[in-house]
Amino acid sequence: MRKMLAAVSRVLSGASQKSASRVLVASRNFANDATFEIKKCDLHRLEEGPPVTTVLTREDGLKYYRMMQTVRRMELKADQLYKQKIIRGFCHLCDGQFLLPLTQEACCVGLEAGINPTDHLITAYRAHGFTFTRGLSVREILAELTGRKGGCAKGKGGSMHMYAKNFYGGNGIVGAQVPLGAGIALACKYNGKDEVCLTLYGDGAANQGQIFEAYNMAALWKLPCIFICENNRYGMGTSVERAAASTDYYKRGDFIPGLRVDGMDILCVREATRFAAAYCRSGKGPILMELQTYRYHGHSMSDPGVSYRTREEIQEVRSKSDPIMLLKDRMVNSNLASVEELKEIDVEVRKEIEDAAQFATADPEPPLEELGYHIYSSDPPFEVRGANQWIKFKSVS
Partner 1 sequence: MAAVSGLVRRPLREVSGLLKRRFHWTARAALQVTVRDAINQGMDEELERDEKVFLLGEEVAQYDGAYKVSRGLWKKYGDKRIIDTPISEMGFAGIAVGAAMAGLRPICEFMTFNFSMQAIDQVINSAAKTYYMSGGLQSVPIVFRGPNGASAGVAAQHSQCFAAWYGHCPGLKVVSPWNSEDAKGLIKSAIRDNNPVVVLENELMYGVPFEFPPEAQSKDFLIPIGKAKIERQGTHITVVSHSRPVGHCLEAAAVLSKEGVECEVINMRTIRPMDMETIEASVMKTNHLVTVEGGWPQFGVGAEICARIMEGPAFNFLDAPAVRVTGADVPMPYAKILEDNSIPQVKDIIFAIKKTLNI
- Which residues of this chain interact with partner 1, rule CB under 8 A? 120, 122, 151-157, 161, 163, 168-169, 171-173, 176, 178-188, 190-191, 197, 209-210, 213-214, 216-217, 220-221, 373-379, 382, 384, 389, 397
Question: In whole angstroms, how close is the CB of 202 to partner 1 at the nearest point?
Answer: 17
What's the closest the beta carbon of residue 157 comes to partner 1, in angstroms?
Answer: 4
Complex with partner 1: residue 31 or 180, whichever CB lies closer: 180
Closer by beta carbon to partner 1, 124 or else 240: 124
Q: How far is the CB of 291 from partner 1 (least distance, A)?
A: 21
Cβ nearer to partner 1, comparing 22 with 120: 120
* Least spacing, CB of residue 212 vs partner 1, in Å: 8
- Residues 250, 288 contacting (CB under 8 angstroms): yes
| C-beta of 196 vs 276, nearer to partner 1 | 196
State phi, psi for 376 to the nearest 5 degrees. Answer: -120, 150
Provide the minimum distance between the beta carbon of 46 and partner 1 in the complex, in angstroms, as a whole number. Answer: 25
- For partner 1, give the closer residue by CB, 13 or 389: 389
Burial of 378 (0-12, 13-18, 19+ CB in 10 A): exposed
What's the min distance (Å) between Cβ of 234 and partner 1? Answer: 24
- Between vectors from CA 306 to CA 300 and to CA 310, what angle results, nearest 5°? 140
Residue 216 to residue 182: CA distance in whole angstroms: 10
Per-residue exposure over 4-17, b if at least 16 CB sit within 10 Å of its own CB, e if not:
eeebbeebeeeeee
**Residue 33 forms beta bridges with which residues?**
57
> Is the CB of 110 or the CB of 151 nearer to partner 1?
151
Residue 146 or 171: the one with the smaller Cβ distance to partner 1 is 171
Provide, rounded to whole angstroms, the least separation between the CB of residue 355 and partner 1: 22
Compute CA distances 111 → 1, 136, 142, 206, whole Å: 32, 16, 22, 19
- In sequence order, the 6+-apart residues with CB closer than 8 A to the CB of 284 are 222
Residue 125 CB, nearest distance to partner 1 (Å)? Answer: 12
Residue 227's contacts (CB-CB under 8 Å, 6 or more residues apart) are 178, 181, 199, 201, 211, 214, 215, 218, 253, 256, 286, 287, 288, 289
> Given the complex with partner 1, which of 103 and 166 has the nearer CB atom?
166
Q: What are phi and psi of 37, to 5 degrees?
A: -85, 140
Question: What is the C-alpha separation between 361 and 59, in angstroms, rounded?
Answer: 34
